[in-house]
Amino acid sequence: MRRVSDYLDYSGRDDVLGGGARRIPVRTPAGTFQVWVKRTGNNPRLRVLLLHGGPGSTHEYLEACDSYLPAAGIEYYYYDQLGSGFSDQPEDPSLWELPRFVDEVEQVRQALGLDSGSFVLYGQSWGGILAIEYALAYQQHLRGLVVSNMMASVPDYNAYAEQVLMPQMDQAALAEIKSLEAAGDIEHPRYLQLLHEQHYVHHVLRMPVADWPDPVQRGFAHINPAIYVSMQGPSELGISADAKLASWDRTAALGSIEVPALVIGARYDTMDPAHMKAMAGRLPRGQYLYCPSGSHLAMYDDQETYFAGLIGFLRGLP
């Protein structure tokens, strides 16, 4: 996800530790840094740690949870991953590696005192990749897992974009988008305009960009491009061949994740809903939630379906 505007300021930093927020030290090969976490609610049997997308976005677009989870009695934690949002933002490319992010999540879990009696890990988009990897390494600490709007295979994601989504686009506009990407001119206003018109309003959030809710506007505005480009690449229509996530594929490993798991897909998503349904089938205790009116941010454009299904899954955990 790329920022919607270069002109939005990151307001609210003075209140970064207010209202249940704290900083957690995280050890890395490049030293110890601080990441920002904020708790909402109080339920010692049901605690959800939210992993945002990007890579390099922030917790902000997930604030849709505030309209649903508190009333459902669910305790949840917003969390800006290292390099994002209110967390430290070191300029060290060696830190933007998937195994290091997994280790970071484990350190955050330990600091928050989450365990298998309460801990549900939720990941949306890139956060879904991170959640899958965490479950493969540390599922003994999980009570449940939620993978939202993310396929288990980047090559399959790229194939879906090339074979399904791109042919649906205006082909002259697509050619212009690809030309600007090839020229490295992805900050050009025309590039962003084309993405908004041809891609975002159809597959990211199905409403005019000017009407996008404030949490989404902030989440896009505050993305860290250094992380995004390093791990995903500069393109908005797939993951680049030279990006760090280009070959990521955990489809065959899903059968080893034995905790209850919910996979959320949507009809208009950038991710293939059929692939995500198949993911749920591969997970031994998997369930699938389909959002028929939703896109990549189905928590906004198919909100009732999304949160009814998510809360139902969380409340039904054994």
Residues 6+ apart with CB under 8 A from 243: 229, 230, 231, 232, 233
53: tokens are: 């997308």
Q: Which of 84, 87, 125, 148 is catalytic?
A: 125
**Length in residues, the chain:** 318
* Residue 275: HSE in the Cβ half-sphere, 13 Å Cα cutoff: 24
179 is catalytic: no
Q: Which of 80, 88, 269, 301 is catalytic?
A: 269
Question: Among 52, 296, 301, 302, which one carries the catalytic annotation?
Answer: 296
Residues 6 or more apart whose CB falls under 8 angstroms from that of 4 comprise: 209, 212, 216, 217, 220, 221
**Residue 222: active-site member:** no
47 to 161, 183, 256, 273: CA distances (angstroms)? 34, 46, 23, 27
Q: How many CB atoms lie within 10 A of CB 143?
A: 21
List the one residue out of 242, 279, 16, 258 whose CA is nearest residue 116: 258
Q: Whole-angstrom distance between the N-terminal and C-terminal Cα of the chain?
A: 35
- Spatial separation of the C-alpha atoms in residues 66 and 72, rounded to whole Å: 10
Residue 5 annotated in active site:
no
DSSP per residue, 140-151? GG-SEEEEES--
Question: Among 27, 29, 41, which Cα is nearest to 108's?
Answer: 27
If we measure between CA atoms, which residue out of 107, 115, 239, 248 comes closest to residue 181?
239
Residues tagged active-site: 125, 269, 296
